[in-house]
Amino acid sequence: MTDTTHTPTPAHAHSDATTKTWTVAEALAIHNTPLLSLVHQAQVIHRENHQPDTVQLATLLSVKTGGCPEDCSYCPQSSKYDTAVGAERMLSVDEVLSKARAARTAGASRFCMGAAWREVKEGPAFDRVVEMVKGVKTLGLEACCTLGMLDESQAQRLKDAGLDMYNHNLDTSREFYGSVIQTRTFDDRLRTLDNVRKAGIGVCSGGIIGMGERVRDRVAMLVTLANMSPQPDSVPINTLVAVEGTPLEAQEPVDSLELVRMIATARIMMPKAFVRLSAGRTRLAREAQLFCFMAGANSIFYGEKLLTTPNPEVDEDAAMLRDAGLTALKSVHHDASIEASSTAAAHHFAHEGSDGPTCGTCDLHPTA
C-alpha cells in the first residue's frame, strides 16, 4: 500500500532538480504524495520545461531478434527460457530502412533499432548496424539503438555514424537487480552508459515496474538516474509485459495509478528529460494513458509492435492523440527534413477518421 498521509512537497522545492543530489527518502516522499497533488506538481514542472500538448513518437524495430545469452527474467528473447520467440536472422539494411520510411510516413520522428545481444562485438553484424544508423539519418529521422553493452570505441563509431541516442536501461534498483538478472551487473550497465555519454550520444535509460520489486526499488532506480551528471535525456518507464515461458510470466499486472505515480516522480526529479510511457500500453485505457501524459509523460513508442510484443495500433494512437488535441513533437534536433516528418504526423492525425476520396498528398488517408 502506498502511504499517502504526509504533506506534499511544493513544486518550487525541486527547482534545482537537475543538479541536486537526490536521496531515496526524498524520492519516496514525492512518490507517495496524494495522487492529484502529485500529478499537479508534475504537470507544473512539465510545463516549465517542455512544450505542452506535445508527444514524441518513437518507432521501435527489432533488427536482431531472439537467441540472447543473457538471463533477464522479463525477456522473451533470452535463450535461457522457452518462449514463442526464437533466434532469427539479422535484418538487412534495406529491410530496416523500408520500416524506417514507413515509420516516418506514419509520423514518427525517432527510429530505435534493438538487438538481442549481450554486448556489441566488432564484425559484420556491427558494421551492418552502423550502415542502418547512417541510412536512418539520411531519411531525416533521429536514430536510436539498443544493442547491449558497448565499449568507448564502439560508442564513438556509432556517434560518427550519426547516432543520436542509445537506450540502455537500468531496469530496477541496484538492490533488486540480482533478483532479475544474474548474467551481468548493475555496474556493467552504468559503465556502458558512461561510454555512451563520453561519446556525446544522448542517454536513454529507464526501467520496468511490475517485476515484484518494492516501491523503494522503483524510486531508488529513479534516484540513480536523476543523480547522473547530466541527467538522462530520455527515461523510458515500462510496465512488465508478462510473457509466457519467462520466469516472470505469472506476475500480476501493475495498477495504472502506480504507473502514474512512477511517471510523475520521474518528471519531478528529471524535469528536462523525455519521460516515455513505454511497454505495457496495450493494457491501458486511453484515459489512463492521458493521465500519464498529465503526470509528465511526453513520449511513446509508436507502431503496432514493440520488439517482439504488441503495442497499440497506429490508428488507435493517432485517434487518441487527435481526440486529446495532442500533436507529434518535431525533432528535438530541429532538422528541416524531420520537420517534414512531423508535418506528415499532423497530416495523419488530421485525416484520421475522416471520410472521402483518397488524399493526393499521402495516398493513405481520405481527404478531409
Interface positions with ligand SF4 (CB under 6 A)? 68, 70, 72, 75, 77-78, 116, 118, 148
CB of 211 to ligand SF4, least distance (A): 12
Given 309, 316, 346, 350, the residue binding ligand DTB (CB under 6 A): 309
Q: Which long-range contacts (CB under 8 A, 24 or more apart) does 95-102 make?
A: 96/61, 96/63, 96/132, 96/135, 96/136, 97/132, 97/135, 97/136, 97/139, 99/59, 99/61, 100/59, 100/61, 100/135, 100/136, 100/139, 100/141, 101/139
Active site residue 362: no
CB atoms within 10 A of CB 128: 17
Given 85, 158, 241, 292, the residue binding ligand SAM (CB under 6 A): 241
* Phi-psi sector, 276: left (phi>0), alpha (psi -120 to 50), beta: beta
Only one of the segments 101-109, 157-165, 284-292, 304-312 lies at the binding site for ligand DTB (rule: CB under 6 A); that segment is 304-312
Given 114, 135, 296, 312, the residue binding ligand SAM (CB under 6 A): 114
Place of cell 538471463: 71
* Residues 169-208 close enough to bind ligand DTB by CB under 6 A: 169, 206
138 Cβ contact partners less than 8 Å away, ≥ 6 residues apart: none
In the complex with ligand DTB, the residue whose CB is nearer, 114 or 135, is 114
3-state SS class at 80: coil
Q: Does 33 bind ligand SAM (CB under 6 A)?
A: no
**Which listed residue (104, 189, 197, 204) is catalytic?**
204
CB atoms within 10 A of CB 12: 9
CB of 270 to ligand DTB, least distance (A): 15
36 by Cβ neighbours in 10 Å (0-12 / 13-18 / 19+) ranks as: exposed
| 270 backbone dihedrals φ, ψ, rounded to 5° | -130, 75
> Site for ligand DTB (CB under 6 A): how many residues?
16
In the complex with ligand SAM, the residue whose CB is nearer, 64 or 347, is 64
Q: Does 279 bind ligand DTB (CB under 6 A)?
A: yes
Active site residue 89: no
Interface residue list for ligand SAM (CB under 6 A): 74-75, 77, 114, 116-117, 146, 148, 168-169, 171, 208, 238, 240-241, 243, 279, 307
- Which residues belong to the active site? 68, 72, 75, 112, 144, 204, 276
